[in-house]
Structure 1
Amino acid sequence: MNILTDYPDLWGEALRGTLVLFFGGGAIALLLGLIVGAMRVSPVPIARAVGAVYVNWIRNTPLTLVMFFFAFCVPLLVPGRADFVLLATTALGIYTATYVAETVRSGINTVPVGQAEAARALGMGFGQVMGYVVLPQATRSVIPPMMSVLIALLKNTTVASGFSVVNLGNIRANMSELGENQLVTILWVMVVFVVLVLLLAWLQRVLERRWKVAR
């Protein structure tokens, strides 16, 4: 326990860094993924093509390479001092958005086609059909896989530790410099991640119960 109690500032900063990456990257991923997922089922061929290229290109690229591009290439294109936390958060969001998009697309495909056709017959446009008819129903089926995507995002935040971004992934190195046992530090990091994942699992159960009642 002394590894936790003797260095509260280090652990607090690392946890804060992980949460910033998670919530920031999650917000970008959910927003962008929702847009790309809608593009993937759009009746417009160009929109479908752009969505497919984005998903297949980014998803098949290792996260480390995406992070490397944002850490070392983007600063060369944008003048001024680079904010590595912002760059890492953006990289995580853009990468995770591909999985969110595919989760949204699979959820949309669970909604019977007849409902969308009936909405279009009433004169609704594509945006109205998606916003008022399809997405509210698809949300019920995408909660479990979406939480899996968010859990993966939480664990992927440790990749940013290799690019000078403080989070739970690099606290082992800090403890090593202070002469603390690295194995014990890693075990405590695992405990923190397990607790965070259990919180996400609890949130999933709450949302599932809420939507189940709504049925």
Structure 2
Amino acid sequence: MRSLTKRQKDIALLVLAVIFFALLISYSWFQLYAPAKEENTRAVTALVDQREVLFGLQRQVAAKPVEQSSSSRMMQRKVPVLPLEDLLLVQLEKAEVKSKALINNVNFAQDELGGTSVESSDQLDTATEDPALALKQLTVEVELTAASYEEIDRFIREVEATERIFVVQSIELDTPEEVREAAAEKEPIELTVTFQAFYRPDLLELVPEVPKLDAPMPAGKEDPTTRAGEDE
């Protein structure tokens, strides 16, 4: 068999080059472009959701300036000027009792809603004029055990039914999906539900009018925030 001619070699090299570039383009698409596009879509969706939360809160909380103490008390039931973690614990306990789920632990974290700081005097004036910029976010992470998905749904609905504005941020099941499906009817379901609540720390003059904690802890119940420390 005679060796390949120069023309045949050139054609073979051209075919190999086309195949190589096709593979390179496919790799770039699936490994680089597609993940980046998906991440960008998720970021845009998260931004849209956050803007909806901001606009919704702005309509509910900042429609009119607070002029009377009575209107302040009513509005502070939705968005108080202090985080009021103790009052949130009582509301979570009530949802726990009604849903028959079990709260194992509760964690609180405070941060600014937009994740940015306001530093200059002009920015401070803008934040004062725009209540949405003055909102602070309180993240409430609830570790929960439930006997069924109905109890989980009831717990979330009871929390959302409270006067304080809550937004469900995430629900994370601690049990792997395959185990979850096989043992859903037998084993308790462990999960972590993360809520977002909001408060307005810039309205210091309204601190005397914050909602009071007038309901004691249910009899025989422990503070969920201290259970983890006691177990250690």
TM-score, with length taken from structure 2: 0.27
More strand as a share of residues: 2
Larger Rg computed on CA atoms: 2
